[in-house]
Amino acid sequence: MHSKNIVAIGGGGFGRSLGSLEIEKYITSLIKKKRPKICFIPTASGDSSLYKLNFYKAFSKLDCITSHIDFFSRTENLEEKVLNQDIIYVGGGNTKSMLAVWKEWNLNEILRNAYEKGIVMSGVSAGAICWFEKGISDSYAEELAIIDCLGIVKGNACPHFDEEKEREPYVNDVINRELIKSCICIEGNCALHVKNNIDYSSIDFGNGKKCYRVFKENNILKKKIL
């Protein structure tokens, strides 16, 4: 029986600065072998070259076998590529556009199979919320929105909870209006590690950074540290 892991990062990591690679070390430590194979999927940033470069710098330092998937130049055999990895890392950017492209290429189903096989799923921002049923996304220029995601993990998620001032009021509002029942909110420099879809732990790689569950109980809004 494979252990199933998702590491959802609220913000920060190699995309911002290489730094001490704390969360990257944590992700690679979940694979108990030398030189794990990790594949970067930077769809949400439109396959940004600089982002890919930072990925290669970061994970080469951690002695990983690195590769990436492009959708905006020739795209390789996705099933073969994904199922041959130990870890998938999804970059940040526009979640809605990313999911639309994935669906067109059936990558959503391939990632689900990879997760079931025990390949570690991870990512930041768009790459954090995509695994949940729904995510709070800034894909639209005007305002935040609740968007449907892959649904591999139960529940709803919001990244950048302490980094972008509109996040918390928006989450409180949609829960008050009962558009969603609850939301897992992840601060920057913090990650949520979901193991086997039941075990939730918060990984602080900043300075006292946290994950919260925001929900309503007896008509009162509550914010509980995970």
Report the catalytic residues.
125, 160
Q: Pick from 147, 153, 88, 96: which is nearest to 114 by CA?
A: 88
* Strand bridging mode 87-90 / 220-225: unpaired
Close Cβ partners of 163 (under 8 Å, ≥ 6 residues apart)? 10, 11, 187, 188
Residue found by looking up tokens 């669906």 in the block: 103
Burial class (CB in 10 A: 0-12, 13-18, 19+), 187: buried
Q: Which amino acid is at 126?
A: A
Cα–Cα dist 217/210, whole Å: 21
Beta bridge partners of 123: 8, 90
Cα–Cα dist 133/148, whole Å: 6
